[in-house]
Amino acid sequence: MEKVIEDYPLSSQVYVNDEVSWQARRTNDLMRCFVKRHMNKPFNIDQFRQFASKVDFVSGRSVTDMQIAEVDANGVSAQWLTTTTKLQPQRVILYFHGGGFCIHMPKTYNALVAQLCRKLNANALVPDYRLAPEHPFPAGVNDCYQSYCWLLQQGYKAENIIIAGDSAGGCLTLTTLQKIRDAGKRKPAAAVLLSPGTNCSIEDLMALEPNLESVDPMLNKQSLAAMINLYLPNEINQKDPLISPLYADYNGFPPLQCHVGSNELIFNHSASAMKKAVDAGVEARLHIWKDMPHVHPLFSWLPESKQAIDMMVEFMAKHLPDNNDEIANQ
């Protein structure tokens, strides 16, 4: 891990946070006690979904200051978050949730996306893309791309759209950018990645050093490999760029911002992908957070979460047009 940081100084400092808050230290302890212990059991998708549903119920927060409607986005079920003000903003966040391609925690993700909307003065679309194992690759990839096309069809300009995603959703963010470029459509203003999974090669996963697995408070190789096996049909090339965007061509991508914890098992997924983006001439920034759990901005009680969200909003606002005049709500 240290070699990657030394060879690849894409952040303005090695770590964003000089110190680790007591809230983060306590959260890491709880993750090891409850989440990682659950992950260490033989993987069962039904039990995993039940566990995730309980976590979502306990830790997710209700969004009361935004309207949330179910919409059909080109055949993709999605949640449309809009402000409750009389004027609707032109800006929109297209957010792809994580969950190993096989689960979704709507309360948790709606709360995070609502925070971004408030600070950025934006609406948001959160697709309920089809999940494995019922709908393996390429269902989720296609759904995410169709949701972007739907926004364009609704009259939103590409330069007013930000795509963001975490973990598996970070993977889908990068694959969606590939499909947008290859289809000749206008690219979004920018994209934000939170602890993205960029390499679905089980061979590469198993080759990671054992000490990386031991320091990660949440993830292990066994559970990640099980989710990949649910997501990918047999006899498929796991290094296909639309499966593992680490192996994609990054030419023509919009500006990228990436946040990752220094002790994450899949830290190199972020570092290597951002290096590839920079090598392709893309404006890309990697922010490394010392001792933060996987997708730490989801944990609203962490000071580091609030700081990361502010950094994300600053980045998004920087790449959106200055003349985002509001339009009357129809």
Closest residue by Cα to residue 24 from 220, 289, 259: 289
Q: Please provide residue 321's backbone torsions phi and psi, each rounded to the nearest 5 degrees.
A: -60, 150
H or E segment to which residue 178 belongs: helix 168-182
Helix (H, G, I), strand (E, B) or coil at 123: strand
Closest residue by Cα to residue 178 from 133, 145, 204, 206: 145
The CA dihedral of 152, 154, 160, 163, to the nearest 10 degrees, is -60
Residue of 147, 167, 195, 244 marked catalytic: 167
Encoded amino acid at 33, one letter: C
Give the residue carrying structure tokens 């230290």.
25
Instruction: Report CA torsion sign: 172, 173, 175, 176.
Output: positive
d(CA 320, CA 160): 6
Look up 167 and say whether it is catalytic: yes
Helix (H, G, I), strand (E, B) or coil at 98: coil
Helix (H, G, I), strand (E, B) or coil at 228: helix
Give the residue carrying structure tokens 């989440």.
35
DSSP state of 239: T
Number of C-alpha atoms within 13 angstroms, CB side, residue 310?
7
Active site residues: 167
